[in-house]
Structure 1
């Protein structure tokens, strides 16, 4: 296909290359956060801490450490900046939310006695948007909002993954995020339909797009089985991938939404992200090499990714972003 991207990406910074800076080396970077000043926070789930870097990439400090005590992190899975400018770390294994200042001081922690073990994002009202599994007569993946008192406010969406019928890497799930405009953006991975819900649970926008299914090759099927085990009895490996990958939708300061597909670029490594503007108009497809299940970050006309080099090291990359007219 003769295709020209409307987005120009110019690599300008690498963080975590052990050949350049041993102190800045990353073990297993899993989440990124960038503040208003351009400081970069990297959640390292192997080391159980947050590594802070200045805008020029220089290592500043380590925030938190692995453990179960006050200010310690056990099983951290996400990091975000709250509206109050506090660092919020979701420790899924220990069912805690741990708060720090951007300067690294421990503030407090909240034990999640009423919220299911979940992936949690704070919204602009001080409440929580949570994705979690729910067992009952049938197993479901659920997206719901809980208040700061941990009481459930409302359910946004649910889906039956049909694990008994579909090999679990292909099972339907829910991807979600909270945008800068404080909208909940979410989608079922087996449908190309992106929903925008306000913080009261009302649907305010819907984006849909036709897509060409991507075939699952025999080599890819075997690779999945080698890495994740064979399908359960009766479960099938589909002939094609679902339209959307199980990764966070992300947004930039212009209100664009980016969502990851299974379409590969010509290099065989990068996947295409579809981009939509604030009105929901499809505007671009962008090939990126980001590590699987590690969200990208768009901030102040910069793109931040975590990528793997030829030796298997994971490093943070920053690109200057320019959109063609």
Structure 2
């Protein structure tokens, strides 16, 4: 049988790779930083090559480290899960997930029955209270957020790429003065989500009317209410294409045939060390597969 490096060295390497810090990994494994460093170095000596780029106090995986992590991390996770199953008296796993209501309604809930069938042990505590990123580690294990980008100190995976649509009531296309040109928006109220505050200004620039000013700009923290407000004729909503398509509301129409790429995307995010939790790993892997997401 071929020799293997000590399991403790492998565990140390995986933790440092995932957390990006000797100090954080040492705290997770209840070791001193020097002791953890020695374990990583022993693995590098066993393999015969460095696995990290060392920059001051930060560590970053090199190409060899990336290949090793992708090969051994799933096996280590499987071993950890097997031991947890044998030693834990509880069979249920629980994930505290922050998610915006519209994403939950349109894209998450319809897929959750498949998750339940695949992982009946996983249960979700769903929180739609907003500010998901700031509450990670303090009330939330993970969050699905709408943002231009995410704090680089967090683990983040982009879930989609989208376009902006101007969504209004079908009645706006009917009558003696139908809305067919962007300039006509000066007579209407723009409805904008608080998590996408730059959507309107980006859209008007891309549409070639950078000086356009609507009658007013009303802000919402609920995409569901934005769609309803648009359907009721209270204004036109600047929202993602996926929101419009998933709504399937016959009262709503896309007002202009313009392709404007959105600066905002949905992201799955969590603190790096949360990926060591089985519930977070299961949900993350399932979500990426279910949405067909592509990372940057």
TM-score category, normalised to shorter length? under 0.3
Larger radius of gyration: 2
Q: Which has the bigger relative contact order, CA under 8 A and spacing at least 6?
A: 2
TM-score (ref. length: structure 1)? 0.21
TM-score (ref. length: structure 2)? 0.22
Which has more strand, going by share of residues?
1
